[in-house]
């Protein structure tokens, strides 16, 4: 990190600390994470912003979980910065409007947006990669509506490990917009950019997961090589219907710890391709039913030519 970057990070961190000390710092926290401290918190709901959308959403198939809005103390800020720096945990925001219920009610209005096809879309505005795209592509009016009572958003960067502050350009940032103005219209180009940003962050999350928890098999790989191999592992895992960050990271870990083609072993393949198993339980099922003998046999299948990234690898039929 350069001297200028260090100064920027120090300044940003100091600003976050000032907000925390003044009771003005909050987090939009992904539902996967919990801060082990007693904090004022409200979990947002999967409510429809427009009553018309209620009939359009297949609620029995909804797996999206909105974030929690958490008021942060200095201790909670330190915990996030020290414990979740390599995770896609959410983002910070600052507001002088210290009524947590009112703040939660404001952000609740954006849980559902209108897609380019006029259908409802759950909006992951608590994902820093997504919000960065939206704040870069929204009109000034759309940004004004979303910011509402927020002074600034603090977006974690998984590449630099720094926090980028994006400030509200309005002087009276305490204003809450009207509910009817808050049904955000998403463009197809925005969805595409958000998808690409999420995928880039996913590679970074798995990169740090492997470096921190599976260092031995990846220790001699430089970053570009490791990230390229992670992209291969994500593609292969998605071929089995795996989609959560934890499942994709777990699949990648098995490719590096056992063999990149471990899933060619009949016992592993039988579970991964089982149409009766929900995709979200497949990785857990592997740890429960695969025998020590199967694990050892999978290791023996190691294909040293697998990571030849110049060729497109496909799963065997």
Per-residue pLDDT of the chain (317 residues; tens, 9 = 90+): 444 544 555 689 999 999 999 999 999 999 999 999 999 999 998 876 666 666 666 666 667 889 999 999 999 999 999 999 999 999 999 999 989 999 999 999 999 888 999 888 889 999 999 999 999 999 999 999 999 999 999 999 998 889 999 999 876 666 788 888 888 899 999 999 999 999 999 999 999 999 999 999 999 999 999 999 999 999 999 999 999 999 999 999 999 999 999 999 999 999 999 999 999 899 999 989 899 999 999 999 898 888 875 444 445 44
Q: At what angle do helices 188-213 and 223-238 cross, to 10 degrees?
A: 110
Q: How far apart are CA 152 and CA 20, in angstroms?
A: 13
Q: Give the pair of three-digit tokens for residue 13.
A: 């961190």
* pTM listed for this prediction: 0.84
Eight-class DSSP state of 305: T
Return d(Cα 86, Cα 136) in angstroms, integer.
23
CA dist., res. 270 & res. 277, Å (int): 11
Sequential DSSP letters for 86-131: TS--EEEEE-S---HHHHHHHHHTTSEEE-TTS-EEE--TTSHHHH
Reading phi first (left if > 0) and then psi (alpha if -120 to 50, else beta), residue 54 is in: alpha
Q: Taking a C-beta distance cutoff of 8 angstroms, is the pair 54, 12 a contact?
A: no
How do residues 194-246 score in pLDDT, each as one tens digit? Answer: 999 999 999 999 999 999 999 999 999 999 999 999 999 999 999 999 999 99
Of residues 226, 201, 225, the one with CA closest to residue 214? 226
């Amino acid at each position: 990190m350069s001297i200028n970057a260090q100064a920027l990070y120090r300044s940003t961190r100091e600003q976050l600390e000032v907000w925390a000390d003044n009771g003005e710092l909050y987090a939009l926290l992904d539902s996967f994470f919990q801060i082990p401290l007693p904090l004022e918190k409200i979990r947002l709901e999967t409510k429809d912003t427009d009553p018309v959308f209620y009939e359009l959403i297949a609620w029995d198939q909804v797996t999206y979980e909105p974030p929690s809005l958490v008021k942060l103390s200095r201790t909670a800020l330190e915990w996030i910065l020290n414990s979740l720096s390599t995770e896609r945990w959410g983002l910070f925001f600052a507001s002088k409007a210290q009524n947590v219920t009112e703040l939660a009610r404001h952000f609740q209005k954006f849980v559902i947006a209108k897609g380019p096809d006029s259908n409802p879309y759950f909006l992951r505005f608590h994902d820093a990669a997504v919000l960065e795209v939206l704040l870069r592509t929204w009109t000034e009016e759309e940004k004004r509506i979303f910011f509402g009572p927020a002074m600034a958003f603090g977006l974690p960067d998984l590449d630099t490990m720094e926090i980028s502050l994006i400030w509200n350009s309005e002087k009276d940032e305490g204003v809450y917009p009207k509910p009817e103005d808050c049904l955000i219209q998403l463009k197809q180009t925005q969805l595409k950019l958000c998808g690409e940003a999420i995928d880039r962050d996913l590679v970074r999350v798995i990169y740090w997961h492997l470096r921190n928890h599976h260092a031995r098999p990846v220790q001699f790989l430089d970053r570009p090589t490791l990230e390229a191999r992670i992209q291969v592992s994500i593609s292969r895992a998605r071929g089995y219907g795996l989609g959560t960050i934890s499942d994709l990271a777990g699949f990648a870990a098995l490719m590096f710890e056992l063999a990149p083609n471990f899933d060619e072993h009949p016992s592993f393949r039988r579970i991964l391709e089982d149409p009766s198993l929900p995709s979200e339980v497949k990785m857990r099922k592997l740890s429960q039913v695969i025998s020590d003998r199967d694990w050892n046999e999978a290791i023996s299948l190691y294909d040293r030519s697998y990571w030849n990234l110049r060729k497109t690898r496909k799963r065997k039929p």
